[in-house]
Amino acid sequence: MTITEIEKDFERDIALCATLPELQELRVKYLGKSGQLTVLLKSIKDLPPEERPTFGAKVNELRNNMERRFVARTDALKQDELARRLQEERVDISLTSCPERGALHPVTQIENEICDLLIALGFEVLSGPEIETDYYNFQALNIPDDHPARDMQDTFYITDSILLRTQTSAMQARVMEKRKPPLKIVCPGKVFRSDSDASHSPVFHQIEGLVVDKNITLCDLKGTLEYIAAHLFGEQTKVRFRPSFFPFTEPSVEVDLTCCNCGGKGCSLCKGTGWIEVLGAGMVNPYVLENCGIDSSKYNGYAFGIGMDRVAMIKYGIPDIRLFFENDKRFLKQFAK
Ligand code: PHE
């Protein structure tokens, strides 16, 4: 082939070349080790010596020209590719259909608020299993088999010894068993009981507080609860202890707050009493400490369990606990901040 023929072929080929891989093939065809131009250049030795310089110069000129054309064509193809992608992957930022913004569930908001308050007092937040053993949910908490206190909680059993925890108190024993006092922990989470009406749901939320140290008193418990009540319901809120019974606390108390609706005068929310019951609490029963390997002659403590759904109901005036679990956006939207 002559220089002119190769040049003509090349012009035709490169014009038809539409992709980068095709271009690469073309480069091999003309400039590769056994490419047409390389072969031509090798034939220089067959020429009479006087023709060689002119011939060599011409071939080199063509080679340089080809190189330039390859660079230019590569750039052009890359530009085309970019333009194509920009067109295909274009995002129409003027589209107005934004997805709706989510918000925290009202019970989650209460949980966060209470946790933040207790963290500020030096409590550590822990979480435990929702599927629990009979041992941690009952026995370790001084509720043996057949104890009448089991009737206070209608339990979902999975097997004879495995159940859905009925109270976050199950975490008390888990923690006390593993750690040495001083302990200052708080455990929020779901609990389950076979119960359903306007004020009971088969799943609801508790937050357990537990302090074990030396010389803890009911006053420490009351101070902590007053601090939480003041932040949740306002400074004027009063806390009242009424004697009660839980197998894992001794003494045990039922804790009432002055009604946040009427301020204690009596209204329909507090059924005219001026007080609203919000939680159970007490001093950790020495039997429970001993069950967990803690010396009850050295250490004592307090525990409380707050129903967070109930707190949210009181705070926001929600009449039916089941509203929390229906996922009706019209209801939930009202708590978006
Ligand atoms: N676990 C009890 C309940 O669910 C509440 C409670 C917690 C009482 C801690 C005393 C101490 O009713």
- Testing ligand 1's pocket by substitution, the residue of 183, 204, 246 carrying the most ligand atoms inside 8 A of its CB is 246
Render each residue's pLDDT in the chain as its tens digit; 337 residues: 888 899 999 999 998 888 889 999 999 999 999 888 888 888 888 889 898 889 888 888 989 999 999 999 999 999 999 999 999 999 888 877 778 788 899 999 999 999 999 999 999 999 999 999 999 999 999 999 988 878 778 899 999 999 999 999 999 999 999 999 999 999 999 999 998 888 899 999 999 999 999 999 999 999 999 999 999 999 999 999 999 999 999 999 999 999 988 988 999 888 899 999 999 999 999 999 999 999 999 999 999 999 999 999 999 989 899 999 999 999 999 998 8
CA dihedral sign of residues 19, 22, 27, 30: negative
In whole angstroms, how large is the CA radius of gyration of the chain? 40
Q: Which atom of ligand 1 is nearest to the CA of 209?
A: 9
My answer on whether omega of the bond before 202 falls inside 30° of 0, hence cis, is: no
- Testing ligand 1's pocket by substitution, the residue of 248, 250, 302 carrying the most ligand atoms inside 8 A of its CB is 248
Q: Count CA atoms closer than 13 A to 190's CA, side-chain side.
A: 11
Name the architecture of domain 106-335: 2-Layer Sandwich (3.30)
Domain limits, the chain: 3-88, 106-335
Are the CB atoms for 299 and 292 separated by under 8 Å? Answer: no
CA dihedral sign of residues 107, 267, 261, 152: negative
Q: What is the pLDDT of residue 285?
A: 98
Residue closest by Cα to atom 12 of ligand 1? 280
Q: Residue 33's CB: how many other CB atoms inside 10 A?
A: 7
Q: What's the CA-to-centroid distance between 137 and ligand 1, angstroms?
A: 11
| CB proximity list for 114: less than 8 A, separation 6 or greater | 186, 188, 207, 228, 232, 306, 308, 311
pTM, whole model, 2 decimals? 0.72
Q: What is the pLDDT of residue 261?
A: 86
